[in-house]
Amino acid sequence: MNPTLWVWSMGAASEYWRSRKGFILAAIGSAIGLGNIWRFSWLTYRNGGGAFIIPYFIALIVVGVPLIILEFVLGNYFKGSSPKVFRKIREQFEVVGWIAIIDVFVIGLYYAVVLAWVLAYVGFSLTVAWGTVEGVGDLFNSLLGNPLLVGVTLAITWFITWLTVYKGIASGIERASLFAIPILWILSVALVIRGLTLPGSVEGINWYLTPNWAKLAEGKVWVDAFGQILFTLSVMAAPLVVYASYMPEKSELPNSAWITAFANCGFSFFFGFATWGIIGYLMQLQNVASPEQLGVPLGGGGLAFVTIPTAVTLLPGAPVSTMVFGTIFFVILWLAGYTSLISIVEPVYASFRDKFGVDRKTGVTVITLLSFILGLLFVFQPGLIDPVDFMAGSTNLIWVVFLEAVIAGYYFSLKKLRDYVNPYAELRLGPWFDVLIRYVAPIALVAILSYGLVTAGQMSPISAVVLIAIILASVVLAGMKWRGEEK
Ligand code: TRP
């Protein structure tokens, strides 16, 4: 039988998106997350401002877009999660799919804990709980030392995520995305307008975007650009593969990938104006000449939990404006992270469905419960988040995506995939696609991985344990008998 018909006839993916718009918004929801808000604009500033846009854009075109396209096409062609996709290419590659899935599961454990902090801060903003600027740091430290409160907001976060994924593709994930993503944009527009209209904002934007071309000679800048692209686009043989498996055959895929990529990167760039407008305002208030002299963190959790509360406390029109803009900021952050967390649970469930025939309700319930319980580790030990993220949320993405490109490029026919999508594509895939997947992306990924490992030196024992645990779990899962619908 023709392989397309044969895949179609097995009917494993019985769920579908209601619309292409729903699919694209869900993919954008996966992509836009904490990474866009607190990582992008800071990386840009640190790595040469406007000049950073160049390595970032190159990473987007050379690795980001081709891999989203590849993940969409593989998921749609093989109708399933990555263990199934890789198993169909070669039985022994199934383990690579599991590594991606277990890795994403681990990301979900600490990602949810950060969202739990964010949710607590939605409450803190509503009541301006930090009081004065002096109280900001104390409040964050007391939150980190309050496992009971974080445990409760973690439970709420997981409950809402569970409910969404439990309801399935169209009634759960699609609905949530159609609701959350437009709200996210509207609130972000409000925050950017507020940021840009503050006195001193232009000075902040200058720090954000003034190009420092000399930086482009530093390898670290390129590593940051490629690492950020993989993380921000959720390219990890997990969410995007399964999301595309719920599109019917003969769907448009390549242009959907371009739209996802540009919506995500455009959001990051746009949101940077809010962040840096606000930082410029702080600089003017405190009369300092450079952002470092502010003494507040410019990126990461510090930006969200220290700098933003500090800035909104000093807004004209406080305390009402503090409440309004503080709440808007943390609602944006939570919604962005929530649609990403959904996209972490779904592929984990889909993999167990494919391999063991687990039904959605049982699978999703067990996965979210287990994630909540294991995540408590990070509630009690927030210091573990960084070393675990270094492995699961950064290093592993690079080599797993490398294997993905090599497996698809050398052990399967990219021409077959192109012929499969091109009749329905708004932007057709030419042989350039094969060149990117077979040569350019793998070479770029190996280069940044080796450079990153040589220079970063962040390989702590905890990171090593995480790596070994993920590989062991994947080998065990891959070795178990395939009980789901066979091929
Ligand atoms: N893209 C998300 C962010 O920027 C994070 C994320 C969600 C992710 N799902 C993922 C990263 C899967 C890697 C793999 O915050």
Q: What's the pLDDT tens digit per position in 178-192?
A: 999 999 999 999 999
pLDDT (tens digit per residue) in 228-260: 999 999 999 999 999 999 999 999 999 999 999
pLDDT (tens digit per residue) in 256-271: 999 999 999 999 999 9
Query: Which ligand 1 atom sits closest to the C-alpha of 336?
Result: 15
| Both structure tokens of 318 | 């406080």
**Confidence band of 99 (pLDDT split at 50, 70, 90):** very high
| Cβ of 232 below 6 Å from ligand 1 | yes
pLDDT at 12 over 70: no
Q: Whose Cα sits closest to atom 8 in ligand 1?
A: 234
Query: Mean pLDDT in the chain?
Result: 94
Helices (H), 210-286: 219-232, 239-245, 254-286
| Cβ of 40 below 6 Å from ligand 1 | no
Q: Whose Cα sits closest to atom 9 in ligand 1?
A: 234
pLDDT at 310 over 70: yes
| Cβ of 396 below 6 Å from ligand 1 | no
**What amino acid occupies position 93?**
F
Decide: 69 and 239 in contact? Cβ < 8 Å: no
| Both structure tokens of 294 | 């502010």
Query: Which ligand 1 atom sits closest to the C-alpha of 39?
Result: 4
Query: Which ligand 1 atom sits closest to the C-alpha of 343?
Result: 9
Query: Which ligand 1 atom sits closest to the C-alpha of 337?
Result: 15
pLDDT at 288 over 70: yes
pLDDT (tens digit per residue) in 210-226: 999 999 999 889 988 99
Q: How far is the CA of 487 from the centre of ligand 1 (A)?
A: 29
Decide: 414 and 438 in contact? Cβ < 8 Å: yes
- What does the pLDDT read at residue 256? 98
Query: Which ligand 1 atom sits closest to the C-alpha of 31?
Result: 1
CB-based contacts of 371-374 (< 8 A; 24+ apart in sequence): 371/105, 371/108, 371/109, 371/112, 371/158, 371/345, 372/112, 372/154, 372/155, 372/158, 374/109
pLDDT (tens digit per residue) in 192-206: 999 999 999 999 999
The stretch 374-399 carries a mean pLDDT of 94
The stretch 145-162 carries a mean pLDDT of 98
Q: Whose Cα sits closest to atom 12 in ligand 1?
A: 234
- What does the pLDDT read at residue 6? 41
**Confidence band of 486 (pLDDT split at 50, 70, 90):** low
- What does the pLDDT read at residue 11? 40
Nearest CA among 10, 35, 3 for reference residue 265: 35
The stretch 411-418 carries a mean pLDDT of 98
| Cβ of 231 below 6 Å from ligand 1 | yes
pLDDT (tens digit per residue) in 103-153: 999 999 999 999 999 999 999 999 999 999 999 999 999 999 999 999 999
| Both structure tokens of 66 | 């081709």
Q: Whose Cα sits closest to atom 7 in ligand 1?
A: 340
- What does the pLDDT read at residue 5? 43
**Confidence band of 315 (pLDDT split at 50, 70, 90):** very high
Query: Which ligand 1 atom sits closest to the C-alpha of 236?
Result: 14
Q: How far is the CA of 75 from the centre of ligand 1 (A)?
A: 18
**Confidence band of 487 (pLDDT split at 50, 70, 90):** low
- What does the pLDDT read at residue 458? 63
User: Could you tell me how far CA 294 lies from the centroid of its own chain?
Assistant: 29
Q: Which of 28, 344, 371, 400 to mutate to test the pocket of ligand 1 (most atoms within 8 A of CB)?
A: 344
- Residue 333, φ and ψ in degrees, nearest 5: -60, -40
Please report where in the chains the tokens 């943390």 appear, as a residue: 330
Task: Give the span between the Cα atoms of 396 and 385, in whole angstroms.
Answer: 15
Half-sphere exposure of 189 (CA within 13 A, CB side): 5
**Confidence band of 399 (pLDDT split at 50, 70, 90):** very high
At the top level of CATH, which class does the domain 3-479 belong to? mainly alpha
pLDDT at 277 over 90: yes
Q: What is the CB neighbour count within 10 angstroms for residue 70?
A: 27
| Cβ of 375 below 6 Å from ligand 1 | no
* pTM for this prediction: 0.95
Q: How far is the CA of 337 from the centre of ligand 1 (A)?
A: 9
The stretch 440-456 carries a mean pLDDT of 87
Q: Whose Cα sits closest to atom 2 in ligand 1?
A: 33
Nearest CA among 229, 236, 232 for reference residue 82: 236
Q: How far is the CA of 40 from the centre of ligand 1 (A)?
A: 13
Helix then strand then coil, % of the chain, to nearest 5: 80, 0, 20
The stretch 26-33 carries a mean pLDDT of 98
Q: How far is the CA of 313 from the centre of ligand 1 (A)?
A: 30
Q: How far is the CA of 159 from the centre of ligand 1 (A)?
A: 20
Instruction: Please give the torsion angle defined by the CA atoms of residues 167, 168, 169 and 175, in that order, rounded to the nearest 10 degrees.
Output: 0
Q: How far is the CA of 289 from the centre of ligand 1 (A)?
A: 35
Q: How far is the CA of 148 from the centre of ligand 1 (A)?
A: 27
Q: How far is the CA of 267 from the centre of ligand 1 (A)?
A: 15
Q: Which of 173, 230, 343, 395 to mutate to test the pocket of ligand 1 (most atoms within 8 A of CB)?
A: 343
| Cβ of 363 below 6 Å from ligand 1 | no
pLDDT at 451 over 90: no
The stretch 341-345 carries a mean pLDDT of 98
CA triple 416-418-419, angle to 5 deg? 65
| Cβ of 340 below 6 Å from ligand 1 | yes
**Confidence band of 4 (pLDDT split at 50, 70, 90):** very low
Decide: 172 and 164 in contact? Cβ < 8 Å: yes
| Cβ of 30 below 6 Å from ligand 1 | yes
pLDDT at 7 over 50: no
| Cβ of 352 below 6 Å from ligand 1 | no
Task: Give the span between the Cα atoms of 87 and 96, in whole angstroms.
Answer: 9
Nearest CA among 152, 130, 156 for reference residue 141: 130
- What does the pLDDT read at residue 14? 82
Nearest CA among 17, 12, 164 for reference residue 88: 12
